[in-house]
Chains A and B, each alone.
Chain A
Amino acid sequence: MDATFKVQRYDPESQEGSHYEEFEVDLPEYGSVLEGLLDIRDHQDGSLSLRCSCRSAICGSCSMKINGESRLACKAMVSDIKETEGDIITVEPMGNMPVIKDLVVNMDMFWEKVEKIEPYLQPTGPEPEKEYLVSNDEMMKLAVAMNCIMCGACVSDCTVLEVDKTFLGPAALAKAFRFAADPRDGAQEERLESYNEPTGVWDCTRCFMCVQACPKDVAPMERIMDIRSMVVENEIDKKGRGQRHIQGFIDGVKHSGRLDEFGLARKTFGFPIWAFELADLGIRRILRLRLPPIIHKSIKSAKNVKKIFENLGV
């Protein structure tokens, strides 16, 4: 199977800036994008740098942008891509992280965020002599989040991180869920309190990009929503952020038929955090043209939406 790879190249040691190069590769029937890149590196241009090891979607090394979406190169099958996305396969380094060379990015920021959520079990009380007795269901619920191979695809595609580097981000928060929901952990309350702070779970705009990008079905956004529910259920949220977030969400949609992001942030964090801490973010969002409209317009059928809410008694 022939394929054309258009690869973003960047070598900090050369004068030439970032640019694209095209390569023709001949792959076996079920060849992956990774195999294509290795073929280029092995037989055409050994200077192409990328990270890879397991070839089977478990080590998390080979995440990169393939036709604009962050994916694992070893899991992206060339034949599937050619069938649905056309003949040229464009390969670029992950987003939201600085490029070191070609397809290799600096993931320091990624690991720092993971470290911030205190990613280790913190049991309290006397240790059992053998194992903790817990149900299989409780363990398997965590296994969903433990599927995370920390490849960075979700962080690469996160639209909040694009404008706000302080957000803990989808990978770290998915891992945070894994500890907060572990019946063996003794620090649940402190954990939830810290994830409830600005930069935590309420910063997610539910854009779904991380769910789409995750190659291991961790669905980080859903894990963030799980934490939000835990925050509300456990009455952690003394400042009422979650409650206000939910109420703000409902009010906005009820009023105009769609999400009022601007108003939502104001309602969630309240004055003065909203005004001072988030103002900086607002300015950066304006600069990136990512700011939600300040003047919130209603959709045409807003009245019908309102009726739905009224019928539901909300």
Chain B
Amino acid sequence: MPQHQVLIVGGGLAGMRAAQKAQELGMDVAMISKIFPTRSHSAAAQGGVQAAVSEDDSWESHAYDTVKGSDYLGDQDAIEILCSEAPDDIYSLERMGVVFNRTEEGKIDARAFGGTSVKRTCYVADQTGQVLLHVMWEQLIKSGLKVYSEWFVMDLIVEDNKVAGCVAMEIPTGKIEVFRSKSLILATGGIGQVYSPTTNGLVVTADGQALAYKAGATLMDMEMVQHHPTTMQANGVLITEGARGEGAYLLNSKGERFMEKYAPNMKELASRDVVSRAETMEIREGRGVDGCVFLDLRHLGRDLIMTKLSQIYELSRDYANTNILEAPVPIQPGHHYIMGGIKTDVDGRTWDVSGQNRWQGVEGLFAAGECANVSVHGGNRLGGNSLLDTIVFGRRSGQGSTDYAKSTDWVNIDENSVIRGAEDKIKEIFARPSGGLRTANLRSEMGSAMNDGIAVFRNEEGMKKTLESVRSVRDRFPKISLDNKGKIFNTDLLSVLELEFMLDVAEVIGIGAIERKESRGAHAREDYPDRNDEEYLKHTVVNLDENGEPKLNYIPVTMTQWEPQVRTY
């Protein structure tokens, strides 16, 4: 049984940053990832990472923009940490080798992004995430981190509400193994495939959120799901906000720059929730074409496009058959990100270390990155703040998990029974008579239902219908049968396990969304169009109760220096 003081599940930016920190602090660390680390979805981040590095900027201004962007649902103590620690983290990434674009003086350059009062988004052309991810990976080669690549974590092991490790399957061989650890950090990314379509990759399947929830941790503000204003119709692939940051326009079918109407000051660079709603209104009122409006980059000129947005040039050519140098590209709002996630404190702990049990958690279990909710994004994340979240809170959870591991003993594990449990689960799936339901059909039923009812605009009836569909898919889930019953690289099996994770999480999203009877950030309700601070300036928290049913509750938002105000752009 492999054993490490700190075990990290997830090889994206958050996981690598946590591993780096814990290793630096002298821990025996290992990282488990279901795909090779550089394949992680962090690579897909195009636009950039926010940090107040320019002279005319300040971390307070960054924090205010983030609080406002969050529609006042973000915890202000966490936001202060995120923004004040950002510059040092960005500088340290630069010194590790990130090739940030530069200013004339050779300093790190920043571009404009939505919802920010100054240019604050540091970038590497339109491939920021990929470069950050590769540089972090290089650092882990340098330090000789132990990586279990292509191992799929099936379950967490918890004894007396204390984490003891996890059980995982080696994908190329089908071997099942127990991993023992003192601290365990979940850094498994988002929930993208719960929605169809989505900008997220095929492996982004809510694993960590579901694992934590089943183990007894809390999921917070899961109804806060972000739709990005510029995604491609054919397959949901993203066009970075950096395009608008560099000056691209949004046009309706009449050729009008419609954002002037919805956000007279910031126009195309208003917050994502605002822009996605504006586009949806235009399309609904008949000023779209085939469900899309247009992103026009032509006036930016060939030089700028080819140096700073070349990936967008390629993606538009490949997936929308459009040459952006010559024509506007059709785009629509599409699922992109989840602000909600596993509730943690600012050191990544999922349990309430104060001992007051203000929320339910699992001792020794940590979370960081998109799967966690600290909460810095609240009701709406600003572009460029998510990469930053992975870096700052990845590092802090590396520290937190080290402190915890030093202070605790190993928990005993009945290895054989855990392995048998995992094997039995797979045997049961293999034993189902063939000719049953197909995973892909159920997955797309769930994805379409989520996109119909819990997307840019929401209402009670639509959300209830979505929740019913999700539960109906879950009822039929045991009737799925597989074509592949082999051990070696059985992706057929992985898809079923992933769908199970996603169904749990989809249900929690639905429950929280129906009960939040107001409009805030990404949660825009037609039946409750206004923000209601009196009743809903609070976090939605969902746990499993003793009977294994979801239980909804609320906890207060932490305020430090910014009182809620009317939010206009």
Contact = CB atoms under 8 A, between A and B. Distances in A.
Nearest to A75: B318
A105 to B, nearest CB: 10
Contacts of A123: 95
A61 interface: yes
A73 to B, nearest CB: 12
Interface in B470-502: 482-484, 486-492, 495
A191 interface: no
Given A45-B483, A53-B201, A147-B127, 9 more contacts: A30-B234, A46-B439, A46-B482, A46-B495, A56-B238, A106-B172, A119-B138, A121-B97, A150-B134
A81 interface: no
A185 to B, nearest CB: 8
A47 B492 contact: yes
Task: Give chain A's interface residue range (CB within 8 Å of chain B).
Answer: 35 or more
30 contacts: A11-B488, A12-B488, A14-B486, A29-B234, A30-B321, A43-B440, A46-B483, A46-B492, A47-B484, A49-B484, A49-B488, A49-B489, A51-B35, A53-B39, A54-B41, A55-B201, A56-B319, A60-B43, A61-B36, A101-B489, A130-B91, A132-B95, A133-B107, A139-B100, A140-B101, A140-B125, A143-B124, A143-B127, A146-B134, A150-B134
B39 A121 contact: no
Nearest to B134: A146
A32 B97 CA distance: 34
A21 to B, nearest CB: 13
Task: Give chain B's interface residue range (CB within 8 Å of chain A).
Answer: 35 or more
Interface string A40-70: 0111011101111111111111000000000
Interface in A113-153: 115, 119-121, 123, 127-136, 139-140, 142-143, 146-147, 149-150
Contacts of A60: 38-39, 43
B319 A49 contact: no
B488 A101 contact: yes
A77 interface: yes
Contacts of B97: 120-121, 182, 184
Interface in B367-383: none
A198 B25 CA distance: 39
B297 interface: no
Contacts of B204: 53
Contacts of B130: 58, 146, 149
Q: Is the interface of A mostly helix, strand, loop or mixed?
A: loop
Nearest to B38: A150
Contact of B203 (A14, A53, A147): A53
Interface string A6-25: 00000111100000000000
Contacts of B100: 131, 139
A292 interface: no
B44 interface: yes
Contact of A143 (B105, B125, B201, B492): B125
Interface in A75-123: 75, 77, 100-102, 104, 106-107, 111, 115, 119-121, 123
Contact of A59 (B87, B201, B438): B201
A102 B492 CA distance: 13
A206 to B, nearest CB: 26
A35 interface: yes
Contacts of A293: none
Given A60-B38, A139-B101, A46 B484 contact: yes
B127 A146 contact: yes
Contacts of B422: none
B486 A11 contact: yes
Contacts of A32: 318
A83 B487 CA distance: 39
Contacts of A130: 53, 87, 91, 107
A119 B141 contact: yes
A61 B229 CA distance: 27
Nearest to B139: A120
A59 B440 contact: no
Contact of B487 (A13, A59, A136): A13
B145 to A, nearest CB: 12
B491 A41 contact: yes
Interface in B452-486: 482-484, 486
Among A45, A55, A115, residue most surrounded by chain B Cβ atoms (within 10 Å): A55
A32 B484 CA distance: 24
B109 interface: yes
A232 to B, nearest CB: 25
Nearest to B311: A58
Contact of A30 (B53, B94, B320, B488): B320
A43 B438 contact: yes
A61 B53 CA distance: 34
Contacts of A135: 102, 106
A175 B515 CA distance: 52
B440 A42 contact: yes
B138 A120 contact: yes
B95 A131 contact: yes
A10 to B, nearest CB: 10
Contact of B488 (A13, A55, A61, A143): A13
Contacts of A30: 234, 318-321
